[in-house]
């Protein structure tokens, strides 16, 4: 299985909190680890909300 890269997901965001720098809008949480790792470790299943970001047109 391929590792999910949250940085390329629509729902990923960076917080201003030093102790919780990563966030996921789909699951609604902030964490110290990358959200896909938190989801995998807590549920045992890969993230089901991963949605690739759409390219920005110029």
Assign 3-state DSSP to the chain and report helix, strand, coil percentages, each to 5.
Answer: 20, 20, 60
pLDDT score recorded for residue 1: 57
Task: Say which DSSP state 37 is in.
Answer: H
Q: Around Cβ 13, how many Cβ atoms within 10 Å? A: 14
| The predicted structure's pLDDT at residue 56 | 79
Model confidence pLDDT, tens digit, residues 1-53: 578 999 999 999 999 999 999 999 999 999 999 999 999 999 999 999 999 99
Strand ranges for the chain from DSSP E: 12-14, 22-24, 29-31
């Amino acid at each position: 299985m391929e590792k999910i890269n949250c940085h390329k997901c629509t729902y990923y965001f960076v917080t201003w909190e030093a102790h919780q720098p990563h966030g996921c809008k789909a699951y609604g949480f902030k964490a110290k680890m990358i959200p896909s790792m938190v989801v995998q470790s807590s549920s045992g299943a890969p993230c089901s909300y991963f949605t690739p970001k759409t390219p920005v047109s110029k």
